[in-house]
Structure 1
Amino acid sequence: MTTTQIQVSRARPRRWWSRAAQREGVDVGLAALRAHREEFSDAAADLVSGDDAEDVVERIVRRAVASVSAPAYVLLLDGDDGTATVRHHGLDAERAADVARRLGAGESLGESAVVVDLASARQVHGRLAALYLDGREPFDGDHSLLQAHARHAAAALDLLTALEDGRREQLRTAALLGLAHELATVDTAGAVAEVVARAVPGIVGCRAAGILLWDHEAGALEVVATSGLGRRLSGLLSGAVFRADHSPELVGMLTHHSPRMLRRERASQEIAAAMEAIAAASLVVVPLLAGDTLLGVAVAVSDAEEGTPAEQTALSRLAGVSEQAAAALQNARLLSTVQRQAHHDALTGLANRVLFSQLLDSALARQGEHTATAVLFCDLDNFKAVNDEFGHTAGDELLRQVAGRLREAVGPEHAVARIGGDEFAVAMRVPDERTAVAIGRRCVDAVTAPFHIDGHELRVTMSVGVALHAGPDGRGERLLAGSDRAMDDAKRRGRNQVGVSGGSTPSTPGPSLEAELRTALEVGHLRLHFQPVVDVSVPGMASVVGAEALVRWDHPRLGLLSPAAFLPLAEETGQITDIDLWVIEAACRWLAATPEPESGALHVAVNVAGRTLVDPRLLSTVRGALHNNGLAPRQLVLEIVETRSLADLPGVVERLGELRQLGARVSLDDFGTGYSTLAWLKHLPVDQIKIDRSFITALPERESVALVRGVLALAAELGVEVVAEGVELFEQLEALREAECHLVQGYLLGRPEVEPSLATRMVGTSPVG
């Protein structure tokens, strides 16, 4: 239209033209204008009717060729992500790239080119250049024609952008809904990370993404899932760890829990190296938070320029994803915690009986004709005595250490579980019974080395039962029961060994404890340790008035064994009486050799089993020990434990009466926990009661204080002396002093020692006083 107007204005009208001719010329001009208008209208409609971005861009160039009579064209379109799209006509690729570069840089293309912006009121999409070769100049009006075409093209691109934005928003909405649906179907942190990593590129509009989970103990983020990187790069980054102390930018994010953009040129060395490996100039990083707890971070590989709206869009979109991801991770962790608590032992971390049964049944279900599964039932020998002597805290620590040794002994390929108090089980695939027995022996040997617990060196033994099933159709419950019976058989044969289910010959890599115990007295392997009994009636003073003799077995192979490791065996095999009588004589010899303190004569207490009480040798042994060592009878205290078996022994009351007639004193040990306590006090001739440590452990709780005061009041009415045993804390001692319990015994005031010098080292002002 403009060209036509210019041409008409340049022509001088002839005076001799007729009005008809003039009228005909105007009609021709109007027809040309209409043709131009229709052509532009068709061009605009053609551009708007494009199916997609590629189609619209191709039509822009094609229509430019049709609009302007230039031999070559270059179209440069700016992308949202900072990249550019180039289309050209009439030029080779190298020349077109050079022209596009100059267009992008805003350089002039000279007089032989017409350059217009593809601009609308909404935005500038790019630049279009018509090129005239060989130094030719554009025709008049080409600039206006190309500019009009550019406006139509910009309008088409506006519409296309709006449509694309709408489609992308619909896709993002669908992706977010799909993400929520997928997250509802997974229940582990790893699965959550995989789902989120796959969804992020489509939601955020980035080319790659990753999820890193926070390891609080290690102080590091670990890559657990990626997408958009390809197999090689994903494998390269899988499991990669970024420590906070090596990455200052992570410290800020961990401290403030805020999203941020990381630039490669400003990143720390480790992060910059990872960004270079995946060709990322920048990363959008958003923390995954459950309240104030950091669970991890979501990362999107972004090419958006710093400070641009694209950067803020990526940050906000990723932040939206992170909320869903964090909630799913928190749920997965809570579920994992609940599942672990339901299937694992809280004390040792091993599988519990429920999980062990599931694993065993699963192994048996997969078992073929030529394979076998074995179960080892492992039980500590006399574990209860450890709790009684050293306390439940020490017992718990012992179980934890035993669990660790068993895991190490059987290896990570086998299932180890704690299925009861001091009972453990192992399930394993083995080639034959001999291999299972060998591993069982390894478990026995694993616990023979001393355990170091709270300053003590504890030694225990273990009995193991082995049961094996070869071929299909095995039942886990039956196999476990068989190994339990085999373990009982190992205990009956002397403990500290392996028994085999089904009547197989037991393993005999070493002698049984029973056989070794028979010769322990003869070869002089028994030792006495002494724990002081202290009078704390005077504030600031802790005067030793006696000691309790505690027997130990200096085993040549297993080291120093506590009473819990062998005395129950001695009772079962009938050797307990010989040991008790030896202890009485040895304790009296020790007391006779111990200098008396200024406070007066000391006493020694000896534990006596029920079977020993009714043995006819007891009276003569006591009489001889006192006479031979020149001791006053009251210096010997015989401690008995109140049990139902003792009550059923005939003649026990008469024997206690005879001991008192000799002048020895009788003490009722573990008072308050045994059989018919009040009946014992009424019918048994006793001089002393020892309050069980279970009451002392709970001091200074109000209920325990009331129980202790009740025992003291009862003892005072009966004229019986009271000793509180198991005192380990200063608060317990103070509660006993306030209750006016004057005699105490426990680790706070003295541990069992080999022949301590009571008179010189343990009398006077006590640090606990």
Structure 2
Amino acid sequence: MDWLGLHFLPSVPADARMLLECSHNPLLIVLAYLVACSASFATLDIAERVGHVDNRRARIRWRALGALCLAVGIWAMHFISMLSFQTPLEMHYDLPVTIASLGIALISGMVAMEALSHPHLRAAQYLFASLCIGLGITAMHYVGMSAMRSSATHYYEPVRFAASIIIAVASSLAALVLAIHLRQGSGMFHQLLKYGASLVLGAGIVSTHFMGMWALHLMVPADLPLQGPSTDNSLHLSLTIALIVLLIIAGSVSAALADKKLQAKERDLRRVNALLSQLDQARVSLQQVAHYDALTNLINRRGFNQIFAERLMERKLTEGMLAVMFLDIDHFKRINDSLGHDAGDELLKVIAERIRSATRAHDVVARFGGDEFCILIALHNTDEAQHLAQRVMQKMKEPIALSGRRMVMTTSIGISLYPQDGDTSEELLKHADLALYQSKGHGRNSIHFFSANLKTKASLELHLEEELRAALREENGLQLYYQPIVDLRTGHVAKFEALVRWEHPIHGLLTPDRFIGIAENNGLIAELDNWVLRRACRDLGLLTEPGFEKLVIAVNCSALNLARDELVDEVSSALREANVAPHRLELEVTENALMGNISNTILLLQEIRALGVGLSIDDFGTGYSSLAYLKRLPLDTVKIDRSFIIDIPKSPQDMEIVQAIILMAHTLHLKVVTEGVETPAQLEFLSQYGCDYVQGYLFSKPAPLSNLRPLVQQLNLSRPAGLWPSTTMLEAVNLAVQGPVNPLGLTDSSDPHTDRFTKASRAEPAG
């Protein structure tokens, strides 16, 4: 039978006979197998290249090269195998048909490389592609066999013919699966897998050919004379074809290997470039973090210092001027405490933007941390710095909407100038900070320029701080002075107020206004308060003689110390160590200190009151206390500030205020102490309106406890009739205690305003 121009058995003519004297050259068979294996390896290697190439044109070039290697390899294997076929007939090959078979091989290779260009194939795609490739290889084989020209006719055994097609399709399927799965991977094991797969695929390709040759039967006429097997130049032609094809395959594999190395280097280079890019980005980010504030996006302290050094160098060369401004937001802590830190951060962003908008483009604005900002400006005269600071302050006073509220913030500004205030960045910044400290000390919301006396004052305060630490540590130099508090009902001394003094080796006797602020600003106030408390309790324990055993000592308590929970234990410990009854100790606290945190203050005072210690509110009338809170406080005494007494009897308003305070205190069942009493007229007024206790220079200035003993004894002897105390008796007492007196009972050597200033400014909270 015939099909597609092919002759199949058993339709053999009656006058024909089958040619049986056919054989194959073993050497050429081995050579054909090697060519097939080489073509398979080249196809696998180039398929791997196709899978790793990103450029579209490069992928097309590699697919074409892979198709060429596969096609010429299979075609060369087929042609060499055909040349190994030896028959007793004269035989040659038709060139156009042979070339046509090569074209079919090229088409099959292109189909194969098209399939291999996809990263993944579905099962149906595998089957379809392998079927196309297998049929193409089979077509190439049988077209090539039809190119043989001889006196014999070709007949094919149908089963073996079909088997050759199946082998071709199976080999194609195996080639696709192996090529796609071996496309990823590296190393020696991966390379060995490719070698093994090449041997298997080469065997499949050769099997396809020889299965087709096995299916071939040559039929010659019965009367045709036969001759011996032809041994013409088949070996030389086969070797030539094999050499050419192997060179093509070797060149392609070498190109693939070189491209693989080149691509690996390019990949490494891209990786290095990407790493360098990431490092650059990281460097920029680190520089941003290192030199810029994350919250406000302003320059931070480090970035400011770097720019400051550069600007300073420029100004030194051009002999120009610079101004450094330190800005501090007034009472910013209240925002964080009341609205939270998130609201505080939002406020800082707004403030930073306002400061930036108030400055010029070439001015440097930085945030140093917290609510502290710094501005560096170049200027021609000092007025420019003043005007810029005023613009910033005016900008700050614009209302800010925050957390549903509208608030107005103010700022304190300190300014130092180059070159008059320093020639280094560190010195100028330090001097601007000192000027800022002065602005804050003068009520805030103000501008101050640095002056030389600020540096002197700062240096003095630094030395005083160091010496105060040493004085507390060594308990050397600190002393307690006491001022009597007289009971107007009996005329006797009922209490002493303990007032701390510091006998400085250079500056002499220092009153609290010189060192209490230093103690509060440097964390020494708790230690100082505790020293005063223990020393006062110790002195109180020594007053055991008749007339002194009931005396009470009043000790001032700092507002900062009042916020410490340890205060109760310290009071209890001081009383226990001195073996003093708690009712002989009284703590004096200012009304502003009481109102700082009223809930915690009430609990703390109740614990102190539970010990039996008396409590007094000092400087009453100068703060912002509420009567609603006042009645809740566990107090015993109210002390009227001297500012209400100093103008009595000349000021009717002060007289009315004092009367109201006395009446209010008695209504709340509180005793009243009036301090600052200096004249008999003041004493007469207070006695007339029911004041309980008086204290002042009319009786005595503060003095060591031993010097006050004669005064206590004299005052406690008798109570004269009429206006009490009489001028004659006061003169006698002061002569006994202090020497010559003036008409007000004050010693000539003392300044009565020292402790007045101390009390009025609350510089004596620690005694």
One fold, TM greater than 0.5? no
TM-score (normalizing by structure 2): 0.35
More helix by share: 2
TM-score (normalizing by structure 1): 0.35
Q: Which has the larger radius of gyration?
A: 2
More strand by share: 1
